[in-house]
Amino acid sequence: MKESPQLKECPTFTGEGEYDHMSFIKTIDMLQEDYAIPDELLIARLHSLFEESAKRWYYGIRQTNGWNTWSWWKQEIITKWANDAWMYKIENAFENSFFDPDKDKPLTWFLQ
């Protein structure tokens, strides 16, 4: 295992405002893979990665369900935050996004 990243280098998740739970999950997945972080260490740090309402949610779920794997936590995060409003926001952004070859550079447009 490589030396794990410092907590200040890890993303946090509030679950409020313009949140993106999938970005949070993907970033944690990549950190776990890149640094070969075992679930035990990752789960031990989760309380520090959640903030505000997400932290209150985490404490309640953790108290009710005890220790679980990162895969289990990912599913719980998706269940909690992948609601209709989030799905509408994603679909609306997709539908309003189009490539104009006269004004857009392909790479810049693709990465936005």
pLDDT in tens, 46-103: 999 999 999 999 999 999 999 999 999 999 999 988 765 655 565 566 566 666 777 7
Whole-number Å distance between alpha carbons of 64 and 58 = 10
What is the value of pTM for the model shown? 0.70
Give the other-Cβ count within 10 Å of 58's Cβ. 21
> Which residues sit opposite 13 in a β-bridge?
50
| Residue 22, phi then psi, degrees to nearest 5 | -70, -35
